[in-house]
Chains A and B, each alone.
Chain A
Amino acid sequence: MERLQDTLTIFLAIMVEATPFVVLGVLVSAVLSAFVKDEWLLRLRTNNRFASHMISACLGFLFPVCECGNVPVMRSLLAKGFSVSQAVSFYLGAPILNIVVIATTMAAFEGSPVVILGRVIGGFVVASTVGIILSYHKNSNSLLTPATIVMCEEDHSHDRGLKYLTSHSFVRRFLTEFFSMMNLLIIGAAIASITQLWIPRDFVFGLASVPILAILSMMVLTVILSVCSTVDAFIALAYSSQFTPGALVAFLVYGPMIDVKAISMLLTTFKPRAVAYIVFLVTMLTILISLIVTMLGY
């Protein structure tokens, strides 16, 4: 009975802690998307291969979208003339490298800067590296689905990405994003609270004590949970007493980039082979970074 009650208390605690950040995230993204002009983005492009992908990875500071909303933004960047590899860097980086996500990660992991830094730096490294590797592809347009190529050719100079803030479009956007984020949060909070109290301590500690197992199990968990990056730090927090910072970094870097929902959305833009390639690169780099964090001794 106590255990059931504690499961409910932890579940509601995640909901109560995370919901205000969902509200903040949806508000900030709605307001910024109305005010940030697309020409600014085009001005940020450079011809330097390395700089351009690093900048693309950081565009989330202008468009704080979590992974739920960034495939449409990525498509509009492609339509605006961004290269395929730059668009991928944006797609991978934006859900981590933005103000709201960094704020929630700092709130959750106030006492462990290595997790916060690991997430921010790790996200940046993965997002820019995957883009840079893809940029060596000879014909990167061949990675796109035919429908996307048509969209890009048609849409090149139009200013379709710029949305004006009308009260109707604002309310519509707010409600749609709010409910889709909340539903994923509810599933994540339910699983996190149940595993907290119903999986034997010794099993979890056993898993957590082998670094590579800990990293892989956190990556599987984050793919299953698919919790929006705006609030996934609070889910990771549930595992912070058992798992090492390295494994937590794996959860926090991998989750926003790869999950079931994101992959199905990516397939609307990229050919399956290209998606598989992106997933492979992200997986390897995340494992590498998490192992480095683990080996640094934290």
Chain B
Amino acid sequence: MKNNHNHHHHDSVGKESQGNWRAFTDRIPGLVMVFVALYLVWLFFSGHNQYYINSGYFMFNFLMGGLLLLVAAASLFIPVKGISLRSLAPLLVVLMLGFLLPPQPLSSATASNRSVNVGAAGNAQEVSPLLKVNPETLRIADWVRLQNYEADYSRFIGQRVDVVGFLFKAGGGAVFSEENFMVGKFVITCCAIDASPLGLEIENSDLTGNLKQDDWVRVKGEWKVVEKEGQSYMVISADFMEIVPRPSSPYE
């Protein structure tokens, strides 16, 4: 009798733990969704969003992350059967990549694989204020706009330039593409997928002798105009280059 009772007891524990296990596995999809939502929210608060998307989407991403968190939390109380756990594996891998690896902005590898400086030509409205300010306050994107807008580069000769960007070697379209660095920044309109590199050429980029691609630098110098195959190019004749920490917002 006692034996029998024990046996019975053991059996029900087994069923119960099996039931507990089910109850757990049915909640795994919801749990994965909680982590997806937390990833979106974490990107917002950590500022890592800006390595991936244009700041115009920060708030939208945060709100959708919050909504997802609500649904995911609700799904922990309403377990859904029939979602295969194997189908969650790809998403788990992505979450690990996103959470565990240090986020990095795009680098020279992308800059060299895309056409540099193809950004829309500046229009008069955008450009004319740029002509009135102290040239040393202009950023890389401003200079690219000016170059695209002004046909006659001679007015820039001798003007001072003082910009911060990263160093890369252009894949093509630059006068000194082989031997010299460009100093550049990416401009993103939607997200890093459409990043297009803006770059300014430096004539004597080995000024300090120990700079390499992807170093963030501050470059000071003077503009000069170089003729090559009937075309004129604006290049910086640098007199000061120094490594600086990567700015907190890496794109324009």
B165 sits at the interface (CB 8 A): no
Report the separation of the CA atoms of residues A111 and B88 in the bound assembly, to the nearest whole angstrom.
Answer: 36
Per DSSP, chain A at the interface is helix
Q: Among residues 144 to 182 in chain A, which have CB atoms less than 8 Å away from a CB atom of chain B?
A: 167-168, 171-172, 174-176, 178-180, 182
Interchain CB contact under 8 A, A9 and B30:
no
Residue of B nearest to A15 (CB): B94
Interface residues contributed by chain B, number (CB under 8 Å): 56
Task: Tell me whether B40 and A171 are in contact (CB under 8 A).
Answer: no
B101 contact set on A, CB distance < 8 A: 8
Please judge, given known A-B contacts A17-B52, A186-B94, A240-B194, whether A10 and B106 are in contact too, CB under 8 Å: yes
Q: How far is the CA of A182 from the CA of B68 in the complex (A)?
A: 13
A47 within 8 A of B: no
**Interchain nearest-CB distance for A191 vs B (Å):** 13
CB-based contact B36/A19 at 8 Å: yes
Contacts of A39 in B (CB 8 A): none
Range for the number of chain A residues in contact with chain B: 35 or more
Q: Is the CB of B91 within 8 A of A186?
A: yes
* Chain B hits for A241, CB < 8 A: 114-115, 118, 194, 196
Assess whether B91 is in contact with A182, with CB atoms less than 8 Å apart: yes
Residue pair A13, B196 in contact (C-beta under 8 Å): no
Most chain A beta carbons < 10 A, residue from B43, B105, B113? B113
Beyond contacts A12-B94, A238-B194: 15 other A-B pairs, Cβ-Cβ < 8 A, are A6-B107, A8-B104, A12-B98, A14-B193, A16-B49, A17-B191, A17-B193, A20-B60, A27-B71, A107-B190, A108-B190, A176-B80, A182-B91, A183-B90, A234-B191
What are 13 residue pairs bridging A and B, where the CB atoms are less than 8 Å apart in the complex? Answer: A2-B109, A9-B105, A15-B94, A16-B43, A16-B52, A16-B53, A23-B68, A27-B71, A174-B71, A182-B90, A183-B90, A196-B110, A241-B115
- B-contacting residues of A (Cβ < 8 Å)? 2-3, 5-6, 8-17, 19-21, 23-24, 27, 107-108, 110-111, 167-168, 171-172, 174-176, 178-180, 182-183, 186-187, 192, 196-197, 201, 234, 237-238, 240-241
